[in-house]
């Protein structure tokens, strides 16, 4: 289960996209390697062991995606559906040069896909939020300064109810509150480190030390953050840990100079993430 979102940066005409990846069992996350896509596209996929494709990614045209599983409530039983659609996710960043074209492709894909999914596709000037389930697809173009999502539907019906999963609602509430006050790169880092509910599965930076009976024991294992302004792509990530205990790695100008830095403070990371010099 995950927390995803974006922030439009008015001063730089750019966008930040982020994903916090939470799983209920330990998985090895792989360091990202640039791959060749269609035509002149290059892309940076984030993958993990046992998966057929990326859990997030961005390409040289600034098209990125982050996705989240959706919890459904059926007959009062909590169901998290995990069907492999990673080939489709790969095409978002390997084949498409605009977020709109990638969103159109995914909307068509979802009409033949029976399982629930939540997806956010972005480029430097547009963002599309998609909810899909059993062939029904809703896609909205995002125009506000920020957006966040966790693991329950807000457009489609049959979302898990609060009594059956507090975490997805509490994490969303916290992410929105933080980004409302800090609609910038620093706000994104604050979101991803947030432990308002302590070291528990209820926090955005999740730890399964405390797992209430209505929750599953998910805990944060990886984070990806992307920035693009149409000219440059920067990336910050941490793998096989969480943002409070693990170091971030910065890649400046991913598809150009590809300069990597470690051991930077959160303030330095926030500044360098959006540096387009």
pLDDT in tens, 99-130: 999 999 999 999 999 889 999 999 999 999 99
Q: Which of 141, 146, 142 is nearest to 179 (CA)?
A: 146
Sequence length of the chain is 277
If DSSP codes are grouped into helix, strand and coil, which group holds residue 69? coil
Q: Which residue has the tokens 């330990």?
A: 26
205-235 pLDDT tens trace: 999 999 999 999 999 999 999 999 999 999 9
CA 132 to chain CA centroid, Å, is 16
> What pLDDT, on the 0 to 100 scale, is given for residue 157?
93
> What pLDDT, on the 0 to 100 scale, is given for residue 156?
95
Q: Which two tokens stand for residue 161?
A: 């109810």
CA 247 to chain CA centroid, Å, is 18
> What pLDDT, on the 0 to 100 scale, is given for residue 11?
78
Flag whether pLDDT at 1 surpasses 90: no
Q: Are 47 and 239 in contact (CB under 8 A)?
A: no
Q: Which residue has the tokens 């956010």?
A: 120
Q: How far apart are CA 174 and CA 154, in angstroms?
A: 16
Q: Which of 35, 34, 25, 91 is nearest to 63 (CA)?
A: 91
Q: Tell me the average pLDDT across 145-165.
A: 93
Q: What is the band of 272 on the pLDDT scale with cuts at 50, 70, 90?
A: very high
24-57 pLDDT tens trace: 999 999 999 999 999 999 999 999 998 889 999 9
185-195 pLDDT tens trace: 999 999 999 99
Flag whether pLDDT at 17 surpasses 60: yes
CATH class given for the domain over 2-161+217-273? alpha beta
């Amino acid at each position: 289960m995950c927390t995803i979102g974006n922030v439009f940066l008015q001063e730089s005409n750019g966008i930040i996209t982020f994903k916090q990846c939470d799983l209920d069992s330990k998985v090895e996350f792989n360091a990202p390697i640039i791959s060749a896509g269609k035509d002149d596209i290059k892309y940076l996929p984030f993958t993990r062991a046992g998966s057929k494709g990326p859990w997030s990614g961005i390409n040289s045209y600034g098209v990125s995606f982050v996705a989240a599983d959706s919890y459904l409530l059926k007959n009062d039983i909590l169901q998290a559906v995990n069907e492999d659609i990673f080939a489709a996710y790969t095409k978002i960043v390997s084949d498409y040069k605009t977020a709109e074209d990638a969103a159109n492709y995914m909307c068509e894909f979802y009409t033949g896909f029976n399982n629930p999914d939540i997806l956010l596709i972005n480029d430097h000037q547009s963002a599309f939020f998609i909810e899909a389930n059993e062939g029904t697809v809703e896609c909205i173009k995002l125009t506000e300064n920020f957006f966040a999502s966790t693991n329950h539907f807000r457009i489609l019906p049959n979302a898990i109810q609060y009594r059956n999963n507090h975490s997805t609602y509490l994490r969303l509430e916290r992410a929105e509150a933080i980004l409302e006050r800090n609609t910038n790169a620093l706000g994104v880092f604050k979101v991803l480190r947030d432990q308002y509910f302590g070291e528990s599965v209820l926090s955005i930076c999740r730890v399964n030390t405390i797992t209430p009976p209505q929750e599953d024991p998910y805990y944060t294992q990886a984070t990806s953050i992307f920035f693009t302004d149409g000219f440059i792509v920067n990336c910050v990530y941490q793998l096989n840990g969480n943002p409070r205990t693990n170091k971030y790695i910065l890649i400046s100008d991913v598809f150009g100079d590809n300069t990597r830095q470690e051991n930077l403070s959160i303030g330095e990371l926030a500044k360098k993430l959006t540096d387009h010099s």
